[in-house]
A and B are shown apart, each in its own frame.
Chain A
């Protein structure tokens, strides 16, 4: 027997094993904790229970009580209480645990029930598996393998329904495949708060549809595709693109806002095919916004920067770095191949410090921001940062559209919150104080610098895509997108979360950390490791809040940092899922 349960725990017996679970847990979740899977379609842990698929039927019973003593009657042979089994099966999803509850999940009755449900579901289900995008991750396919009969006894004509109903800009519905579980209906109502889906008609004519005059077009519509247990709701973007068993999954972080939704990046042979949410109950549950799923398209975008350039002409990486090194110490004249940034002769122009301005980014990872800080220190300047603010949707897109402003605070790159416009930098340029501007991935034109101001200075641009700044820059060094590198972000909860490299970067493009480490060396900041393991040792040694962290030991669901040093800052985020702004939380 296990130890007596705590007051808020309830001991139940599932398939002969006792387990103590919190009150209010249903049988499916209790069984999951024991490693027993109760098959289900309509039940979803993050949605309300509807209990319409009947797949999770189980047998249950309670100990027989002696009416006189109110104590369970014990079975002399086994020494365990005698159980009064309910003669008919119950659904596991809508059955909450009660003290002494006994459950059989794999009895002949339960199996027979599942086989019956499976046979009924398959009556009208088309044999689309070879062309169905859900094949390979389809619950109906999995449970049919376990509980199907392998052949059909149905001799009548199968139901025919429309195969490509457009529900919204990103979702296409295959009505024939729908098993009417209503997960999508409940999701739209409960999580997306956009009640547009419903069933019409009766019996086998039942069809999922949008309410008249409405479309499934909210920014969370693709979550319905994720939770669809069959291939009925399909992503218009991913439809017929690739079979899921070819795809490799890499953990990522959604970089579109400071929520930092955990994602799974699905790629094959260096090409990303789709992005889906990864469960993190403290951040995004099992959801993510549609806008974050389309971001992978930037990897193969036509305006991607693929080679370094110097004065507008493509050059070798080495020459571009030498040119930057010269700019950082104020050497003029053409770049020579034998320039050596480390030589004393090279540093003859120094001290040039003060005339180089550095623009860091809230889109850079913590590691990149640490190196940017090192670069700022070497140049004896402080970095500017650009804030991006958009409307928050109170779910999983926050007002702060930079994923990692808090990382810049933690690493000490900035000490107060950034503004949306670089007005002080613009004033310095106009005053002639600044001769060179190094931008780590920020479009300076978008941040309020005019073309005339950019023309007055030498711009060094490190970035992924072509823009007005890269066009105006003296030196451009291409960098990697968030999908092509590993790193960490600090989200709005001050949760340090890591993402991994899903696909290799374009040939010849160096990792951002290598480029930044080279710039630090060129600016006289010494040699800093750029490999993540060694770099994290350096970060842990210098950045107090990250003292005990290593990249490798960071848990998949992130690590909550102590936010008190920055509690007084007026962050722009409003309330989102699992997040309350500090001001509101204190009130």
Chain B
């Protein structure tokens, strides 16, 4: 069905031209002296709000221990299937972390697939994966855009840990061991 657009005739001030020019100049002048709303990116960087979902990263606990136990829940929950984990066993001879038993042998996040939804962070039972402040990620090849385990830990760094679940487990085991002998 045709729709008729009503075009009103110009008012007197509009037909006079100059009042409109002046009104336009007023807007221009206002913005000339108003504070900037844009930013000189990349020289200037925005302040990242709390809870921002940037690039997913792997973090270590304050003792430098790898937190991820490769439970693969993030791989399972990831909607675009960006995460790929190869699980591995921690050999019994590594005294400082053998009690954790399991750690990722390989951990890859394909940033060309990632949609920054944050489900991996939400699902992680070990608080090992976090979407942090990094938002700008570039590369020349597809391979460069796949973050491997080393890169994920480099991006993630260390975050405070309130639980130290595995340390508690280890100390309980040691206490029990002393009691038994």
Contact = CB atoms under 8 A, between A and B. Distances in A.
Interface of A: 126, 129-131, 135, 157-158, 160, 163-164, 239-243, 245-246
Interface stretch (B56-64, B87-95, B111-119, B152-160): B87-95
Contact of A243 (B72, B92, B101, B172): B72
A130 B87 contact: no
A160 B172 contact: yes
Nearest to A241: B87
Given A157-B172, A160-B176, A242-B87, A131 B71 contact: yes
A152 B161 CA distance: 22
Nearest to A157: B172
A240 B176 contact: no
19 contacts: A129-B71, A130-B125, A130-B126, A131-B70, A131-B71, A131-B100, A131-B102, A157-B172, A160-B177, A163-B99, A163-B101, A240-B88, A240-B89, A243-B72, A243-B76, A243-B87, A245-B76, A246-B72, A246-B76
B76 A240 contact: no
A130 B101 CA distance: 11
Interface residues of B, number: 23
Contacts of B126: 130
Nearest to A243: B72
B173 interface: yes
A175 to B, nearest CB: 12
Given A129-B125, A157-B172, A164-B92, 4 more contacts: A130-B69, A131-B101, A163-B101, A245-B76
A245 B88 CA distance: 17
Nearest to A205: B180
Contacts of A246: 72, 75-76
Given A239-B89, A240-B89, A243-B76, A131 B172 contact: no
A150 B96 CA distance: 31
A245 B77 CA distance: 12
A240 B101 contact: yes
B73 interface: yes
B172 A240 contact: no
A164 B101 contact: yes
Contacts of B89: 239-240
Interface of B: 69-73, 75-76, 87-89, 92, 99-102, 125-126, 169, 172-173, 175-177
A240 B87 contact: yes
A243 B75 CA distance: 10
Contacts of A243: 71-72, 76, 87
A87 to B, nearest CB: 41
A131 B99 CA distance: 12
Given A130-B126, A164-B92, A240 B102 contact: yes
Contacts of A241: 87
B95 to A, nearest CB: 14
A292 B95 CA distance: 36
A395 B53 CA distance: 58
A490 to B, nearest CB: 40
A158 B87 CA distance: 27
B69 A131 contact: yes
A135 B72 CA distance: 11
A129 B172 CA distance: 19
Contact of A158 (B70, B72, B172): B172
Contact of B73 (A126, A130, A158, A242): A130
Contacts of B76: 243, 245-246
Of A131, A135, A157, A245, most buried by chain B (CB within 10 Å of CB) is A131
Of A129, A130, A164, A246, most buried by chain B (CB within 10 Å of CB) is A130
Contacts of B71: 129-131, 135, 243
The 10 closest A-B pairs by CB, nearest first: A130-B71, A160-B176, A131-B102, A240-B89, A160-B173, A130-B125, A243-B72, A131-B69, A240-B102, A240-B87
Nearest to B128: A130
A129 B88 CA distance: 16
Contacts of A160: 172-173, 175-177
A242 B99 CA distance: 19
A564 B89 CA distance: 54
A239 to B, nearest CB: 7
A146 B71 CA distance: 23
Nearest to B89: A240
